[in-house]
């Protein structure tokens, strides 16, 4: 039967998510539905003699932007060219897009050979939740905010409009999604979701460090005392890194955020927490 590559089904995406968990990437418990809905044709598996051994996602948001993720080959099949064949096949799904990825630093040189350039690094921090504290009247559930207004706020912090993704993402089970509203304007929003281990924040966008801090405390309250919480900060946003350090969060690892057509024009000074390494 040999080696065959084809798009994965929704059920097969769960295989990819399980592999990501084994790699230590700690995926969200309910990420799969949102990921697949965003681009049902963007998930690929490589099969050797009918059994899945490799995976990659090449999610297209539109004709201008796409993201690679889930690039995994089962350990016993590495170094044999299966991953690279899958890589080349997946890129056919993103022929016109500026392609982004969050790669492990060790693979950075390999990605450069495929036309990717380093834009900046993201740092994952680990900390703990907190007990109840006084509520801030400006913080409201995202479900109370008109979606059009939320999308308008989100646009400058992401390379393209992502309505399909965002609609599904913010209503995940076992999550909290909140916004910061003042005088009818959205000044920030954040979400935290249950993962294989603890909870992961993403995104955390805010107009300034003070609002980011207030939103982060609300998310930490949802997680609860002594439960683990993770925040992925762009290293170039020094205030985001300071926020993690303020609460004694420990750096766990870094990724290289890379693009094929240059760094998009996004407002990284408002990005205190990356949405997800898999889909940008």
At residue 188, does pLDDT exceed 90? yes
Predicted local distance difference test score (pLDDT) of residue 258: 97
Predicted local distance difference test score (pLDDT) of residue 51: 97
Delimit the domains of the chain by residue range.
3-118, 125-273
Query: In percent, how much of the chain has pLDDT > 70?
Result: 100
pLDDT-based confidence at residue 135 (cuts at 50, 70, 90): confident
The DSSP result for 124-179, as a single string, is EEEEEB----PPPTTEEEGGGS-HHHHHHHHGGGSSS--HHHHHHHTT-TTEEEEE
Q: 3-118 in CATH: which number?
A: 3.40.630.30
Q: Which of 258, 240, 171 is nearest to 204 (CA)?
A: 240
Q: Which of 105, 118, 102, 27 is nearest to 67 (CA)?
A: 102
Residues 192-204 have pLDDT tens digits of 999 999 999 999 9
Q: Which residues pair with 188 in a beta bridge?
A: 180, 206
**3-118 and 125-273: identical CATH topology:** yes
| Pair 155, 270: CB distance under 8 Å | no
CATH topology of domain 125-273: Aminopeptidase (3.40.630)
Residues 151-184 have pLDDT tens digits of 999 999 999 999 999 999 999 999 999 999 999 9
| Pair 230, 26: CB distance under 8 Å | yes
pLDDT-based confidence at residue 133 (cuts at 50, 70, 90): confident
Residues 81-117 have pLDDT tens digits of 999 999 999 999 999 999 999 998 888 899 999 999 9
Global pTM reads 0.96
At residue 1, does pLDDT exceed 80? no
Quick one: how far is CA 60 from the chain centroid? 14
Predicted local distance difference test score (pLDDT) of residue 132: 82
Place of tokens 């921090």: 125
Predicted local distance difference test score (pLDDT) of residue 189: 98
Residues 252-268 have pLDDT tens digits of 999 999 999 999 999 99
pLDDT-based confidence at residue 2 (cuts at 50, 70, 90): very high
The CB density around residue 246, as the number of other CB atoms within 10 Å, is 12
Mean pLDDT, the chain, integer? 96
Range 202-225 average pLDDT? 97
pLDDT-based confidence at residue 226 (cuts at 50, 70, 90): confident
């Amino acid at each position: 039967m040999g080696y065959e590559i084809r798009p994965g089904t929704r059920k097969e995406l769960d295989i990819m998510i399980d592999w990501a968990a084994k790699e230590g990437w700690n995926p969200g418990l309910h990420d799969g539905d949102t990921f697949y809905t965003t681009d049902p044709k963007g998930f690929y598996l490589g099969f050797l003699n009918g059994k899945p051994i490799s995976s990659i996602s090449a999610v297209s948001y539109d004709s201008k932007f796409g993201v690679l993720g889930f690039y995994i080959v089962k350990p016993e099949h590495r170094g044999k060219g299966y991953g690279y064949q899958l890589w080349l096949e997946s890129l056919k799904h993103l022929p016109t897009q500026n392609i982004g990825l969050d790669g492990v630093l060790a693979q950075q040189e390999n990605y450069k050979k495929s036309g990717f350039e380093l834009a900046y690094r993201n740092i994952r921090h680990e900390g703990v939740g907190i007990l109840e504290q006084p509520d801030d009247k400006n913080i409201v559930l995202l479900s109370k905010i008109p979606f059009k207004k939320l999308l308008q706020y989100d646009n400058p912090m992401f390379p393209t409009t992502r309505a399909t993704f965002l609609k599904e993402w913010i209503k995940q089970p076992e999550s909290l999604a909140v916004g910061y509203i003042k005088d009818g304007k959205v000044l920030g929003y954040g979400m935290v979701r249950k993962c294989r281990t603890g909870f992961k924040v993403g995104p955390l966008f805010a107009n300034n460090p003070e609002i980011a801090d207030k939103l982060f405390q609300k998310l930490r309250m949802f997680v609860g005392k002594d439960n683990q919480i993770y925040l992925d900060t762009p290293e170039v946003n020094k205030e985001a890194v300071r926020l993690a350090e303020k609460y004694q969060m420990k750096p766990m690892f870094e990724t290289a955020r890379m693009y094929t057509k240059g760094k998009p024009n996004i407002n990284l000074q408002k990005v205190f927490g990356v949405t997800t390494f898999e889909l940008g």
